[in-house]
Structures are given as structure tokens and as C-alpha cells.
Structure 1
Amino acid sequence: MPTYATHPRASVCYGMLMLASISLLCLLFNQQVPAISPLMLAMLVGLVLGHSRFAAGLVHVDASLQWAKGPLLRIAIGLYGFRIGFEQIQQVGMQGVLMAVLVIFSVISCALWLGKKLGLDRHTSLLVGAGSAICGAAAVLASQSVLKASEEKVSVAIATVVLFGTLSMLLYPLGYSLLALPAQQYGVLIGATVHEVAQVAAASAAVSEQVQQAAIIEKMLRVMLLAPFLVWLGWQQSNTPGRSEKSLHLPWFALGFLCCSGIRTLDWLPISGLHMLQVLDDLMLTMAMLALGLNTRAAQVVRAGRRPLLLAAALFLLLLIGGYLLSQLLALLSA
């Protein structure tokens, strides 16, 4: 009897089932250890499996891997908008909005400038910058869908999110007593400067419930700004020197993100429906990350060298020091 590998449809179904099963395990692990993002865990599992005997069979499910990294990922980024409604902006006030906008603008600008000084290509600089400035691995994946960057560049950018996001998660709880900031202000600082949503939740929860609430809302503001960032990125791509096509490229999944956020704001869906959509979105994003890990080879990442790490380290310091100074300045202006 022929195996699944001889039937294209059966091969795709088998591949998607494999990705979904492993991704579910990553999500279940995240429920037990919330500080570890399922996206990061899926990437790590994919890298390990991709360098094991398991890798020999990946050729039979390549169509599934490509679909998970492409259309499935774009749908998941669009559905990400269901996580935040526009009304949440009021809960952190104008100070929180300005903090989020200025952090993203300064980090992306610094990433492009310093990346050029370090001799990095534009794609790597933007991917590392997006991961640091907006929402970690999800921002890297979303940016990759616009830039069409190579998988090794995406893997390098995500590795920097894991490293420096984890450092932030450990440092911020220690800094609360040293900096002596009000709980609301410290929560906004954490939400505006820590890489991943899971890392923000873990770092702020280690301080207090009030800090955690402000931190998560501020982080969701940064997530909301992913959509306009992607639109800007599409515009930048359409104006890249050497491109014959100069029409504006608007990523449909960025517009989908805003539409989903609008639906969330209008309360058109019940809480149970929103929860189901968010769980589905988590699964789809995790599957995309797993597929990326399975297709990435360690040698490709190693070849990137230390320059992306230096860029990420500089952005990490900018977030720590610049974020603190910016929060102080905004607090003085709003007083």
C-alpha cells in the first residue's frame, strides 16, 4: 500500500497534523510555565528536530512547512488583532500612547542606523529592530512576510529576542525597588520596553498586580502599532531602489489586524468567541514558528556572526536606559 508521501494531499494533511500536534504540546507547556513563550519553544523544538534523524522525513511534508510559514502565518497575524480593542488606549492615557510610539520609532531608527554602521543588511536590521521594538517573535515573523527575508535572518532575529527578552524579564523585577517609580509608571515602562508579551507578563507579575495590569495594556498598545509599522514597511519595500514596480504594497494581513481589532472594540463577539479565536491564533502562530525552526540550519545562523548580536545588545541598552529616561520625561510633562 502506498504511503502518505506518494499522495500530495495526504502528505499536506500529515504535515499539518504533525505541526499542530507538536504546537499543541508547546502551548500546553506554556500554560505550566507562562514565562516561556510557545513561539520561542516551538522555534527551539523545530531546530532540534531539524537537526535530528527526524529531518530526513521533512522532504515529504515540505508543502505543509511552506504553507505554515506563508499563508497560515499571514492569517494568524491578522487574527492577532482580536487581542486588543481601541478602548484599552484610555487605560494607560496619552503618556502610555506616546511612550509606545516613541519607543518603536527610536528603536527602529537606531536599528537601521546602527545596522548600517555594523555592516548588516537592511533585512537583518529591520528584523532585529522589529523584534526588539514591537512584540518579539510575532513582529519578526510579520516583518518577514513583508520583507521576504531568508529563514536564517529570521532565526537570528528571534534568537536575539530570546536572549535579551529573557534578560529583561530577570532585570525588571530587581529594578523596581532601585528605581522607586510609581506602580503605574513602572508597569508602563515594562510594557514599553520588554520584548515578548509572555516576558512582559512574567516580569510585571513578579512585582505586583497593579504593575502587571499597566504593563500588559502598554504592551498591547505596542502590538497594535504592528499594523501601521507593517504598512510603512510595505511602502518602504515598494520604494526600494532597483524595484521596477513602484506601487504601494499594503500587506493585507496588516489591514486584517486593524479590522479584527475594530471588531474587538465594537464588542460584536462574545468573550467565549474571542477566547476561541485567540487560542486558534496562538496555535497558528506556533505552527508557523515550528515550521520555520524545522527549515532552519544552525550553520546558517552561525554564519551571521556577532554583528546581529551587537545590534540587539545596543537596542537592549537603548530600551533599558532610554526607556527609563523617556518615562521620566513624560511623567514630568504630564505632571
Structure 2
Amino acid sequence: MLYQIQKKYQLSERFVSITFFFVLSVSAFYLAQIEYLKSLGLGLLTISMLIGLLFGNVMPYKMHALLEDGMVFCKQRLLRIAVAFYGFRLSVQQIQALGAQAFLIDVILIVTTMGLAVWMGIKLLKLDKETSILIGAGHAICGAAAILATSSIVKAKNEQVAVAVSCIVLFGTIGMFVYPWIYQYVSHAFVTDRIFGIFTGATLHEVAQVVAAGQAMTPQAAEAAVVTKLIRVLLLAPFLLLLCYWLTRNSSSNQSAGPIALPIFVFGFIACMLFNSLVNIPEYIHAVIILADDLALATAMVALGVSVRIVDLRKAGLKPILLAFVLTLQLMIVGGFLSLL
């Protein structure tokens, strides 16, 4: 059908494919508004990934060939622009309001989680470097968004990104239900709502999962959880720059490795955050920017899902799931200890 439309109206393949991915992302956006799916912690990016996987595994090969040009554009250029505009969700004022405790906890957890992911994934489980880094980034920072941003730096394959996102969906969803259950038993003992909110935001994976878990607690806990999570999102920028530096150093000692491109979009992320902090953007304009960014990220995720075959996910085996489980456990233990200090 798409092929016939493209021929009839003499449209470029890129235009047709981007439009196709965008339409699917809009569908994912409306599905993400359903209360039941919200209660399951299925955010826009997760639903977009699932829709992409569904279409990608049922469409004929001829349609895959038609979508290829736009698929590459969405997964690379559009993704980087969307990550840069992600900075409009943050402000310096939000960070100052929560204080240094949440910031320090987030930094320590990111360092320890990434260190454990690289050591266990590469050295112990013998996973490839890209998958280990992607799973670590998703756990340490902000789930699927961090995985997508990191994938453009480590030059990960589609199936590697899909495996990492799947791990985030699995253990993040479990955590979303477990955290409110734990909260019921500790909130009246020695843990305040603010402390447990910081713990939740610092250790749960996806922003949507943090919001869903926070809604099952008190408003004070939910607010602390969301702001702490946003600080983790802010740390995505320095994390990507440090990751780029580390990969560049490693590639310089390995002549067979290709050059690592400087992630210019990270500076765009920082610029958007500073602009959002210093300029009083009208609320309706800000809402439009966030909506456009959500749809751009969702379009990139749909394109990624379409390009992945289920058989590729099966080849990964149980090792990525084991790594994700250990990282989730580490986040809860170390994060819980740091939150009580």
C-alpha cells in the first residue's frame, strides 16, 4: 500500500517512510494517554517500541526496503535533535529546590551502575561492549531515552538497542509495582516521604515508571521522586561526553576501531536546559515544545522497533536479563543506603 502511494503521487521514499513512522508515533501517543496503560507504567517510548516491533515483524520485505531511508534518518538525525530538545524539560531551579543530596546520590549511582555494567557485562558475562553499555545507561540514567542517546555514540546495532530497552521495560515495570508496596511498610517507620521519593527517583528506570510509582504514594514523595529523576536526566549530558571521551581513548589504542564522533547534540541539550532556566517561556509554547519532542522521540523509537526482528532478540539469550537484574538490585541496595544517610 505504501509502495503504491509513493509511486502514485511521486513522493520520495524518505518522506513516505518518515510520515509512516510519525503516524505510528501519534497512535502510540494516544495509547499512552489510556489510564490502564499508565497504571502499568507503559510510557510513550515503550509503547512506540512495541508498535514498531509489531509492524516490523509482520510487514513484507518490500515495505522494509521502502522504509529504509527514512528509518536511518529517524534513528540518527531526528533522534539527536529530539535528545537536544529534551533539555527543555529541565531547569536549574528544579535542581536547586531539591538540594545537594539528590544530586550526589544520582552521581554516585550512575558511576557505580555503569562501572558494574561494564565489568559484569563484558568481563564476567562476555557480552559485547555495546549491549553492556546500553543496559548500564538505561538503568543508571533515564531508561529508553538514555539508551537511544547512547546508541548513537557507541554505534550500536538495532537488536542491541532493542535488547537493552526490553530489559528496562521488564525490570522497570516490576519495580514500579514493588516500590509502592515497600513504601507502605517503611513510610511509618524511619523513612520520610521525601527520603523515599528521592530513593524512588534515583533508582527506578523510566520517567513514566517513576511518575506511576509516585502517584501510588503521597504528593510529597511523588514530587521528590520526579525531581530526583529529572536530575538523572540532566546528568545524561555529562555522561555522554565522558562516555565519548572514554571510547575515544580506547579506540586510539585500537587502530581497528573507528573514530568516535563528538556528540554535538549533548551541547544542544545543555543549551536548551539553560534557555529553559533563564527565559520565561509561555506555558502554552513550552507545552508545544514538549509535545513535539515527545513525538520526535516516539518516531525514532518506532523506526527502531520496525528495524528489529524478534529472532534477533532471541539470539541475545538470558545474559542481558541477568545483567539487568543485578543492576536493578544494586540500584535498590546502594540507593536505599545512600538515601538514609
| Interval containing the TM-score (normalised by the shorter chain) | over 0.9
Among 178, 185, 188, the alignment partner of 2:198 is: 188
* Matching of residue 147 in structure 1 with residue 126 in structure 2: no
What is the CA-CA distance between 1:3 and the residue it aligns to? 4.9
Q: C-alpha distance in 1, partners of 2:181/2:205?
A: 17
Q: C-alpha distance in 1, partners of 2:33/2:307?
A: 26
* Matched residue, 1:101: 107
Q: C-alpha distance in 2, partners of 1:324/1:58?
A: 46
Give per-residue Cα distances to partners, 1:146-188, cap 9 Å, x unaligned: 1111111111000000000001100000011222310111111
* Matched residue, 1:13: 15
Q: C-alpha distance in 2, partners of 1:4/1:248?
A: 36
Given residue 107 of structure 1, which amino acid in structure 2 is its aligned partner?
T
Query: Aligned pair in 2 of structure 1 residues 146, 178: CA closer, same or farther (>3 Å)?
Result: same
Contact 2:199 2:339 in 1 (8 A): yes
Task: Pick which of 258-267 and 244-253 moved more.
Answer: 244-253
Contact 1:173 1:203 in 2 (8 A): yes
Q: C-alpha distance in 2, partners of 1:16/1:63?
A: 9
* Matched residue, 1:110: 116
Secondary structure of 1:239's match?
helix
* Matched residue, 1:25: 27
* Matching of residue 70 in structure 1 with residue 41 in structure 2: no
Among 269, 273, 277, the alignment partner of 1:261 is: 273
Query: Aligned pair in 2 of structure 1 residues 207, 3: CA closer, same or farther (>3 Å)?
Result: closer
Secondary structure of 1:53's match?
coil
Given residue 134 of structure 1, which amino acid in structure 2 is its aligned partner?
I
* Matched residue, 1:215: 225
* Matching of residue 292 in structure 1 with residue 304 in structure 2: yes
Q: C-alpha distance in 2, partners of 1:237/1:104?
A: 17
Secondary structure of 1:296's match?
coil
What is the number of residues matched between the two proteins? Answer: 329
Among 317, 328, 332, the alignment partner of 2:329 is: 317
What is the CA-CA distance between 1:250 and the residue it aligns to? 2.8
* Matched residue, 2:52: 46
CA RMSD of aligned residues (A): 1.9
Among 235, 245, 256, the alignment partner of 2:245 is: 235
Q: C-alpha distance in 2, partners of 1:265/1:56?
A: 47
What is the CA-CA distance between 1:10 and the residue it aligns to? 2.6
Give per-residue Cα distances to partners, 1:191-241, cap 9 Å, x unaligned: 000000000000011111111111110000000000001101111221123
What is the CA-CA distance between 1:55 and the residue it aligns to? 5.3
Task: Pick which of 11-20 and 166-175 moved more.
Answer: 11-20
Among 152, 174, 187, the alignment partner of 1:167 is: 174
Given residue 13 of structure 2, which amino acid in structure 1 is its aligned partner?
S
Given residue 300 of structure 2, which amino acid in structure 1 is its aligned partner?
A
Q: Please give the residue correspondences for 1:320-331 in structure 2 after superposition, counting only pairs within 5 Å.
A: 320-329=332-341
- TM-score, length-normalised on structure 1? 0.94
Given residue 126 of structure 1, which amino acid in structure 2 is its aligned partner?
I
Task: Pick which of 39-48 and 55-64 moved more.
Answer: 55-64
* Matched residue, 1:333: none
Query: Aligned pair in 2 of structure 1 residues 8, 316: CA closer, same or farther (>3 Å)?
Result: farther
Contact 1:238 1:245 in 2 (8 A): no
Secondary structure of 1:199's match?
helix
Contact 2:117 2:133 in 1 (8 A): yes
Task: Pick which of 27-36 and 38-47 moved more.
Answer: 27-36
* Matched residue, 1:123: 130
* Matched residue, 2:142: 135
Given residue 284 of structure 1, which amino acid in structure 2 is its aligned partner?
A
Contact 2:153 2:260 in 1 (8 A): no
Contact 1:235 1:249 in 2 (8 A): no
- TM-score, length-normalised on structure 2? 0.92
What is the CA-CA distance between 1:54 and the residue it aligns to? 5.2
What is the CA-CA distance between 1:246 and the residue it aligns to? 9.8
* Matching of residue 198 in structure 1 with residue 186 in structure 2: no
Unaligned runs of 5+ in 2: none
Query: Aligned pair in 2 of structure 1 residues 57, 179: CA closer, same or farther (>3 Å)?
Result: same
Contact 1:131 1:161 in 2 (8 A): yes
What is the CA-CA distance between 1:302 and the residue it aligns to? 1.0
Q: C-alpha distance in 2, partners of 1:245/1:148?
A: 11
Secondary structure of 2:33's match?
helix
What is the CA-CA distance between 1:29 and the residue it aligns to? 1.3
Q: C-alpha distance in 2, partners of 1:290/1:13?
A: 15
